[in-house]
Each structure stands twice: as structure tokens, then as C-alpha cells.
Structure 1
Amino acid sequence: MRGRSLRRRAAVISASVLLAGALAACSSASAANAPVRLNYWSFPDNSGAIQQAVDTCGAASGGKYTISYNKLPTDADSQRQQLVRRLAAHDSSMDILGLDVTWEAETAQAGWIEPWTGANKAAAVKDTLPTMLQTATWNGQLYAVPYNTNTQLLWYRSDLVPTPPTTWAQMIADATQLAKEGKPHYIEIQGAQYEGATVWFNSLVASAGGSILNASGTAPSLGAPALKALQTMSTLANSPAVDPSLGVQQEDQNRLAMEGGSAAFELNYPFVYPSMQMDNPQLFKHFKWALYPRVYPNMPSHVTIGGIDLAVSSYSTHPALAEQAILCLRDRSNQILAAVKGGLPPTLMSLYSNPSFIKAYPFAAAIKAALLSASVRPKTPFYQNVSIVISHAVSPANGINPTSTLGQIRGGINNALSDKGLVP
């Protein structure tokens, strides 16, 4: 009985295998004419702009490809960690990668993303903001295509401050005076121990005329501008102008504080504009913008540039189609969509003089001015380590001792560049 049962089971299994083979053959035959599915990994966009672009580009490909939008975690550190782990495992399900502007050096150096050449490179470079092309370039080679950019403006309440301050000292003084009058007065900025604190420090260093690393990215370059940056951060953190929750504040907490009516100033990205318009229409009437404050009255500010660059994974089995899809995803119409719907500034220069875009994006001129003079974060494969050193040293900001904190940052960066304690 047992032998007969085994033979019967074997026959069933054999039949199942033959049937599966036949189905697979049919599937392969039909799949030969089906569009290729490209997997696109990027930040989670809640506005719907990315999904709309994905659907539009798939439909416009003429049946060559469809795009599957895979959402990464919300915070940048977790996004990077997931991408790095998949790339290190040579994951062939990764085709298009949405990279934060600080990840290109690391991923290119590791051989995880493909360089752009020929006609597609020319198309990627044409009309693109020079500062964003810097973020997408490593060792003189273009490795990604700027999809959107980002930079901070000073957002303020015109009912409290008729004329916006032009320097950090003026802004702190204005906020202190409002506090004395018992009015909303907080200055909202990213002070939590994460990338936002590094961005704040980098913007101040650049605005004071310096940089965090030398030109070759091989050593710290921290002198008087870095000391001035730390003094500015400490001054705010120990003044009446500070939000008591500065040490845990990130971009969204800043937005909520401003919308809630407790703040007079906010250093933040353009996503706050459509959010204020929707969440607090009454306060929106007084919600204005100006350029990021200067550190010194006679020196323009240089705000840290942000954004997303699109790269082709070295492990994609369809790199040529992935490049075509990227050029579609970042074309004029999709950049306008991302800007108006999602609040993310475009990377194409000509859009900033487009009347219909300016009407929908009234602060376009201020964004363009900030982007053309923007600063780029330190370009090094060890950027993650450098950023962690800085954010841990400057947060909480009320604990900054400018001279000793500067020494701490310098020593930590030297270790980071020596690959000591690399963050996986």
C-alpha cells in the first residue's frame, strides 16, 4: 500500500511539474511581447506627484516598459540603509534609484550605479541647474540625473514682522523683541540629532565663507567660518527666540509649529507653502518668504542644496530602458507636477522664467536665487560618517561650546575620513 501510494504521489507530482512547465512556456511566450517592468525605488511621496509621473511615463513608453514605484522608509537614514543593503547584495530588482544628493559619491565609488554617457548624458545635463549637477557628479563623471532640488528659505509672518530680517543677528533680535511683547516669536529650525542639524551647520559655515572639507574632500577645513557657525547656533539656542523643543525639532515639527501660530520665523523647505495654504488659510494670508539670513551683513548666504538624483543600478537587467524612463520622469511636465503638487523645486533652469509656473509657484525667483548660490554638502564616500559626527556634536545646540565643539568635530571628521567606524 505504501509503495502504491508513493507511486501515485510521484505521478501527481510529475504531472504537476509538466503542467507548470507548459504554463511557464505559455507565460514566456506571452511575456516576450509584454512591457518590461522597471523597479523605481525612492522616498515616499504622499502628494501623488511621483505616482502620476510613473503612470504617465509608462503609458508614454509605447509598450516598452512600465514602472513600479517602490516606496522607501520615511527618514533618509533608513532609506539609505535599505538601498545600501540591497545594492551590496547585487539585487537585480533595482533599476532606478532615487538618491539623496549626498549618496552619489558613496554609491559610485562602490560601483553600485552606472555612469551616464553619450546622447542620454547630454539630454540629462541640458538646462539643468549647475549646483545640482555638482551633486550628481563624482570624480568628473555624471552618475545620476537631478530629478528635483530643494533649498530653504526664511518663512515669516508679515503681521508680526513687516520687514523680514536679512541676518541671523537681526532675526534673533526681532524674535527677542516679539517675546518681550508677549507675541508669537519662535524661530523654527531643525535642531534634532539627525541630517537636518548637519544641514544647518553646513549652511552657516558656507555663508560665513568656509567649507567643512577641503577641495579634494580628504581633510577637514574648519577655521574661523566654522567657529562663527557654532557661535550663531549657540546664540539662538540660548536666546528667548528659541523654541524649547529645538533639540527634537525636524522639518515637519517646524511646519506644525508655524501653522499652529507659535512661531514668527521658520527656516524650511518649500513644502511648507502648500501645507500652510491648506491647513491654516487665515494664517496663510500673512505667510511670506525671504532669502535665508546672512551670517555677515556683507556676505550673501549659501544655503545647503538638497533634492533627489535618479541613478541606474549597476545590477539592473534593463539599464538602457531605465535611462529612458529617468529622462521621462524628470521632464518639464513632471518637474512642474512635483513642484506644484509636492512643493519640490525643479532642476530645469528654464522653468524659473516660465509664467505659468511662476503663477503657481510665486516664490520661484527666491528659490532660483538661493539655488544658484547654494552650497553642496561635503563630497566624500564617507559622507554618512561625517554627517553623524557633526549632528552629534551640534545637537542639542544649547550644549555647544564653540571652541571645544569645533575641536570635537575636527577630530571626528578625521576619524570618519580614515574609515574608522563606517556606518553600514
Structure 2
Amino acid sequence: MYKIRQEICNWYKNVGSDKMKTKNGFVSITLLGMMVFTLGLGIIQPVKAQGVTLKIIVTDQQAPGVEAVIDEFLADTLGTGVDAVEVISSGTRADDQLVYLTTQMAAGSSEFDVVGLDTVWTAQFAENGWIDELTLESGEFDDYFSGMVDSSMYNGKAYAYPYFLNLGVLFYRADILARNGYDSVDDFDTWDEFKAAANTILANATEQALDPDLVGFVGQFDAYEGGVCNFIEWMGSAGQTSIFDSDGEVDLNNTDVQSAMTFLNGLIAPRYTGVQGTDYIVPREGLTHDEGSSVGKWTAGEAIFMRQWPFAYGNSKAEAGLNATDGSGNYVQFGVTAMPTKTGGDSEKSAVVGGAVLAIPTSGTQKTEAMNLIRFLGDEVAQLAELTECSNFPALKSAFDNLPAGYEWVAEFESAAERTLARPVHPKYATFSVEIADYFNDILGGVKSVNEGLGKMESAITEIISGKIEIPGNGIPGYSIGFLVVALSLTVSIILVRKRRT
């Protein structure tokens, strides 16, 4: 390089005499420029066109599933033009993620290309204009469970893409049921059969030397979000799968929901005594049960039936009193099936979905590539990675046909997945779900009659939706700006960034 510069200088000295400057100055300068350009062609290397880096934010429980398939995405045709995917974790709790994301979206941040949302957030983000409507191919959602599809829709349009599934299921003591003549899940898949099986076993408890603290059924009936899920499941099991009628009006105090609440209320003991020797199958203390206390009752061997999320399968396998097998890996003391429904009809749904969906922020700048990433994460390779890496169930039906070795037990949940339904898809859900939780607990506890409790629940939700009950905040349902500012400062401190580059 030094020799090249020296030759240029020498050449310029030779042509740079006064005479040459006078007669050929312009030509000399032109020739010099051409020489420099020509030499430069041999020195300057072509610059490779740069692809894009996509940023996706999910909770840290979900992040390993995304990280595990980044290389496959980049190698896939869907990853064309993408150099890297950056996975950003927003902490362990969905509530932390909601506070952080609502603040970012309200500020118009273009920080993220794809956002992971809890299944109940779609409406809130769509209504606020924070996420794009997705352009889908015909039939693109056909292979996803119905509850996950419903959770991705708002006002008849798709604003999110199903990612992974969580659902409410019925755990049952297979050994105790078989001992009493109930050999198939078909023997307790309707309300009446379910209650009859529990009553029969409890009546025989002393004779069969069963635990004196054995009860028929435990669920999540306390006044919190878990109670809302239980309420929606029992409502859906009667055939009503939405709290809204066809005109969009709140419709809860009707014969279907009344029958569900009347039946469930009739299962609960009116006093704090045992249920053996009575017509009841749910102990009075069951009104305060949440996920932790109900699974504790189950793993102690003190419940015949339990409504729970899939995490309890691991708890059951780890419990010496529940994990006996037939020698080939099949557990013989417990099983999993769909929650019972009123008649067993196809229109009756009894498994509320949780889990996550994926969306594209309106402020994002790489939307084509973002949609390609979402489609990849919704397909089988990524769905199974979320299962093996994070124990999150596939939202894709066909993925259940290709379960990896060691995960065959997941197939037990498929029957329940076919009966999935979504919690109310509404931008003010976070506010009115509190009303559902409180009145549901009041109905079960006998504080209010079924008719009064449902009537007040319906009125309270209607008032919230109509705006008669003001929601604090500035366009972010359920959150004040002051709260968001403080929460954001705390949340930002726990943001973890994970990067994977090719």
C-alpha cells in the first residue's frame, strides 16, 4: 500500500511542472482521479449485505424453548435474510411482563419485533393499537386447539398466533376408582357420573380402609384468577362457552350457567367437617384452595379427583404414594382426562386454556421477518422444543402425534385439549375478572344464592364494560401511570438478555 502511494506522488511530480499545470492541469487531475479509483478497485473488498437481527421478548420460563430452535430457524427458508435472533427475558412472572410490555407499547417503543403474550392479553393489546392484525393463509389455524385460536382473536380478527398450551384437566385416582368398579374415564365424564363415583367411593372408604381425610374433589375455588378459570370451565361444561351473547351483551344469569353453579354448589359441604358419610364431595375448606393447596391435598393421597394444570403430573410422578407403574412405565395409581361436562356433548367445553400467544408490535420495523419467526415458532419443531425444554404443551394438534421419547405421557392430555375454551377475550378483562372471582366464591360459599350472585356478577361486568365504573390509568386498563412508572423501574432491573448469533 505504501509503494502505491509513493508511485502516485512521483507521478504527480512528473506531470506537475508549471507547463503541464498550465496546459493540462484539468486532464492531470482527471487522470489522477481515475488512477486512484482503478487502484481502489483492487484494494476495497465487496461489502456483504447485512441481514437483520430480530428481537423477541418472552418470560424466562419460555425463553429456553425459543433459544433451542434459533439455529434451525436461521437455516430454514423462513429465516432468509435474518442474521440473528435475540431472546429477551422479562422475568419469571407474567404480571411483570405485562407491566413492562404495556409501558413499552404505550410509549411507541420499537424495541421488539415479536412479543409473547399471555392468552388473556390479546384483546387489551389489540384494542390499544399496540399489535398488528395478522395476515393469515386460508386454514392456517385449522391445526390448533380451539381455545388457543379463540385466545388469538379479537373482534373476529387474528392479532396473535398460538404458541404453547396450558389447560385445566381432571386428575383421578385410577387405583381407587378401579377398586370400586370404575375402569374407564367414560364412567365419570358427565356431572352425574362424576358425583356418583365420588359418593360411592367415599361411602366405602371405611370398609376399604381408605384415608379418613379422603375427599371426593378439590379444585381452585378461592377468590382469585384460578377461581375465574374454574368458573369458566364449569360454565362451559354446561354448554355456554362465552360470557357474552351473540349481540355482545353480558349473559350469565341464565339457565345454563345457573345449572352449573347449582350443581357445583351442591358438591360443597356446608360445614367444616369431613365429607365421608355425607352427600358432599368437596370439603368446606376447599373454598380457600388454590393451585398449591389443592395439589398438596392430592399428593397427600387425600383426594379422588382434582382439577389442576398439567404441572401436577410431575408432582404426582414424584410422590411415592402415587407413582406405582405396571412395569412398562405406565402409572397405575393416577390418570388424567378432561373435566366432566353436563351430558358429554361435543358443544360442552371444560378445559380453560392458559399458555402464550405471539404477536407483532405495530411499532416494529421488521414485520415480514417477524411474521416468519412467529410461523416457525408455531410449527412442530419449535412446538416440541417448547415441550422438551420448558414442559409447555404444544398448541398444534398434530404435534401430539410425534411426541419425543420420554414424553409419551403428554398424550393423556389430548382428550382435554379437544375441549378447550378461552377466558373472555376483552380489553377490560383484567378488571372485570376480579368481579367474577369474588362472586363465584360467594356463590359456592352460600354467601349469595346462585341467582343473586350471577345477577350481581352480570351487572358488575356490564357496568365496567360500559364505563360506568371508571378504570384508573391512561389507556392501559387496570394500571395507573404512576404505578407503571414505578413498576417499570423495578422490572427493567430484572430484564435478562440472551443472544444467539450465527
Classify 1:374/1:46 alpha carbon distance in 2 versus 1 (closer, same or farther; 3 Å): closer
Residue 86 of structure 1 corresponds to 104
Spell out, residue by residue over 1:229-266, the C-alpha distance to the aligned partner (whole angstroms, 9 max, x if none).
22233223336233555344333443343223222211
Do residues 280 (structure 1) and 288 (structure 2) align?
A: no
Residue 219 of structure 1 corresponds to 250
1:264 maps to which of 304, 314, 320: 304
- Assess if the C-alpha contact under 8 Å between 1:178 and 1:185 holds in 2: no
Residue 484 of structure 2 corresponds to none
Do residues 149 (structure 1) and 175 (structure 2) align?
A: no
Residue 189 of structure 2 corresponds to 166
Give the secondary structure class of the aligned counterpart of 1:117. coil
Distance (Å, rounded) in 2 between the aligned partners of 1:186 and 1:81: 39
Residue 302 of structure 1 corresponds to 349
Classify 1:392/1:358 alpha carbon distance in 2 versus 1 (closer, same or farther; 3 Å): farther
Residue 155 of structure 2 corresponds to 139
In the superposition, the TM-score normalised over structure 2's length comes to: 0.68
Classify 1:381/1:46 alpha carbon distance in 2 versus 1 (closer, same or farther; 3 Å): closer
Classify 1:348/1:412 alpha carbon distance in 2 versus 1 (closer, same or farther; 3 Å): same
- Assess if the C-alpha contact under 8 Å between 2:126 and 2:159 holds in 1: yes
Report which stretch shifted further, 306-315 or 233-242: 233-242
Classify 1:341/1:244 alpha carbon distance in 2 versus 1 (closer, same or farther; 3 Å): farther
Residue 221 of structure 2 corresponds to 191
Which structure 2 segments of 5+ residues have no match?
A: 1-47, 276-280, 324-330, 472-477, 480-502
Aligned length, in residue pairs = 388
Residue 23 of structure 1 corresponds to none
Spell out, residue by residue over 1:144-180, the C-alpha distance to the aligned partner (whole angstroms, 9 max, x if none).
1101123222111112222252233443444455455
1:98 maps to which of 100, 116, 119: 116
Pairs within 5 Å for 1:118-129: 121=137, 125=141, 127-129=143-145
Which structure 1 segments of 5+ residues have no match?
A: 1-31
Classify 1:337/1:414 alpha carbon distance in 2 versus 1 (closer, same or farther; 3 Å): same
Give the secondary structure class of the aligned counterpart of 2:56. strand
Residue 413 of structure 1 corresponds to 461
Spell out, residue by residue over 1:262-285, the C-alpha distance to the aligned partner (whole angstroms, 9 max, x if none).
2221112323224432x2255123
Measured after TM superposition, the shift of residue 199 of structure 1 is 1.6
Distance (Å, rounded) in 2 between the aligned partners of 1:117 and 1:377: 24
2:424 maps to which of 355, 369, 378: 378
Distance (Å, rounded) in 2 between the aligned partners of 1:248 and 1:92: 43
Matched letter for residue 426 of structure 2 = T
Q: Rg larger in 1 or in 2?
A: 2
Report which stretch shifted further, 263-272 or 164-173: 164-173
Measured after TM superposition, the shift of residue 215 of structure 1 is 2.4
Spell out, residue by residue over 1:101-134, the C-alpha distance to the aligned partner (whole angstroms, 9 max, x if none).
222122112110012226xx56953633344323
- Assess if the C-alpha contact under 8 Å between 1:102 and 1:135 holds in 2: yes
Measured after TM superposition, the shift of residue 227 of structure 1 is 1.2
Residue 61 of structure 2 corresponds to 45
Give the secondary structure class of the aligned counterpart of 1:148. strand
- Assess if the C-alpha contact under 8 Å between 1:294 and 1:300 holds in 2: no
Classify 1:323/1:236 alpha carbon distance in 2 versus 1 (closer, same or farther; 3 Å): same
Report which stretch shifted further, 296-305 or 280-289: 296-305
Residue 496 of structure 2 corresponds to none
Classify 1:269/1:33 alpha carbon distance in 2 versus 1 (closer, same or farther; 3 Å): farther
Measured after TM superposition, the shift of residue 221 of structure 1 is 4.4
- Assess if the C-alpha contact under 8 Å between 2:341 and 2:348 holds in 1: yes
Higher helix fraction (1 or 2): 1
Distance (Å, rounded) in 1 between the aligned partners of 2:435 and 2:384: 36
Measured after TM superposition, the shift of residue 84 of structure 1 is 2.1
